[in-house]
Amino acid sequence: MNYRDYLSITPEIAKAIEENTPVVALESTILSHGMPYPENLEFAHKVEELVRAEGAIPATTAIIGGKLKVGLNAEELELMCKGENIAKASRRDVAVYLATGQTAATTVATTMLIADMAGVRVFATGGIGGVHRGAQETMDISADLQEFAHTNVCVVSAGCKSILDIGLTLEYLETFGVPVLGYQTEHFPAFYCEESGYNVDYKVSGAEEVAKIMKTKWDLGLAGGVLVGNPIPHEWSMDHKYIDAAIDKALEMAKEKGIHGKKTTPFLLATIKDLTGGDSLASNLQLAYNNAVVASKIAVEYAKVK
């Protein structure tokens, strides 16, 4: 057997990949661990609709029945959204969950891994993981960053999650040679906020320019991903001081409860949602929709230059 024996790609997506039709990968952790049911199911359908409206095919990923799923049918999507006994799979978990038949939602790292195996080069997510605050002591650094170092996928996100140490996250990406592009902006976004106080490496004018950079990078044999920072729409951007206060309170609560590891991000996001009266969830939805649209535009342009 080789890795392709573990892939289960829907006929529509398999045909699209073979015919160089644009495809956009989507993660499932946001469905199983990031939103309540049935709002997450409505979100999943809307994201797929937005991708199709731009001329691309959506490919939501997951681990189900010993297979790496690329594209989910209605029953599988419902399963992931109900979130009952659904694990959260990063790279280290993939072999274990496949071998044991555990159903698992895919993180940014695992979605990149699966997309690369399937030949899908563009992936839309909300925000990537990164270096957690206080990582100098805890060494809590997301596997997402290592995935960027060697996996050839372009990831469109609203920067990294505001709960992280953004400066150290950008330093880590620079160390591993990952180009960080600002989609029509010089500023690196901070998930809920348009700006983080840090700049990107390069401002790009649009999807066509991103596609050319992707092609050139991989033509040269420069392995690894491309990160596109796509700011949350202005009308949904939250005030820095307001969201930072909520984050600080959530971090304090996590420390008091002994929350760590892969449970940290879901706990913090849920707590911040409660502390902001649901405003953070509304912003989270809008930035994810925006990323799906931009990723689809990039996938369309990449299919042309490829």
The C-alpha atoms of residue 218 and residue 179 are separated, in whole angstroms, by: 12
**3-305 CATH choice from 3.90.1520.10, 3.40.1790.10, 3.40.47.10, 1.10.10.60:** 3.40.1790.10
Residues 6+ apart with CB under 8 A from 32: 40, 80, 81, 83, 86, 88, 105
Please, which residues bridge with residue 70 across strands?
9, 61
**Given the residues 27, 54, 194, 301, the one annotated as active site:** 27
210-225: pLDDT as tens digits: 999 999 999 999 999 9
Does residue 161 have an active-site annotation?
Answer: yes
Q: Which of 3-12, 134-143, 265-274 has the highest mean pLDDT?
A: 3-12
Please, which residues bridge with residue 289 across strands?
none
222-266: pLDDT as tens digits: 999 999 999 999 998 888 788 778 877 887 888 888 887 667 767
Q: In the prediction, which pLDDT does 73 show?
A: 96
Where in the chain are the domains?
Answer: 3-305
Q: In the prediction, which pLDDT does 35 show?
A: 85
pTM of the prediction? Answer: 0.92
- Compute the mean pLDDT over every residue in the chain, rounded to the nearest whole number: 92
The C-alpha atoms of residue 187 and residue 169 are separated, in whole angstroms, by: 15
**Given the residues 161, 217, 262, 297, the one annotated as active site:** 161
Q: In the prediction, which pLDDT does 217 show?
A: 98
Does residue 147 have an active-site annotation?
Answer: no
Region 82-107: mean pLDDT is 96
